[in-house]
Amino acid sequence: MSSKKMGRPPSNNPKGKKIEIRVDQEIMNKLDASAEKLNTTRSNIVRIGIEKVYDELQK
């Protein structure tokens, strides 16, 4: 029997940090609509937004 673990392989960029935010229904609707339109997750939409703001601040 192999000593390798079963399951998902380790990620090159693990996402171990967690944030929690409070939003109103309008923001949640916009987040859900964006995620659906881009066929991605809510978390990924938030990551994209953070990258955009950060890039703008670097200019």
Would you say residue 47 lies in a domain?
yes
Would you say residue 46 lies in a domain?
yes
At 1 the pLDDT is: 55
**Alpha-carbon gap, residue 59 to 50, rounded angstroms:** 15
Would you say residue 34 lies in a domain?
yes
Question: What are 8's two structure tokens?
Answer: 């998902």
What is the residue range of 30's domain? 25-58
23-48: per-residue pLDDT in tens?
999 999 999 999 999 999 999 999 99
Would you say residue 51 lies in a domain?
yes
Would you say residue 17 lies in a domain?
no
**How many domains would you assign to the chain?**
1
Question: What are 55's two structure tokens?
Answer: 């890039």
At 53 the pLDDT is: 98
Neighbours of 45 (CB within 10 A): 19
At 54 the pLDDT is: 98
Would you say residue 13 lies in a domain?
no
Would you say residue 44 lies in a domain?
yes
Identify the DSSP state of 5: P
At 2 the pLDDT is: 61
Tell me the pTM: 0.77
Kind plus residue range of the DSSP H or E element containing 56 = helix 42-58
At 13 the pLDDT is: 86
Question: What are 50's two structure tokens?
Answer: 């953070």
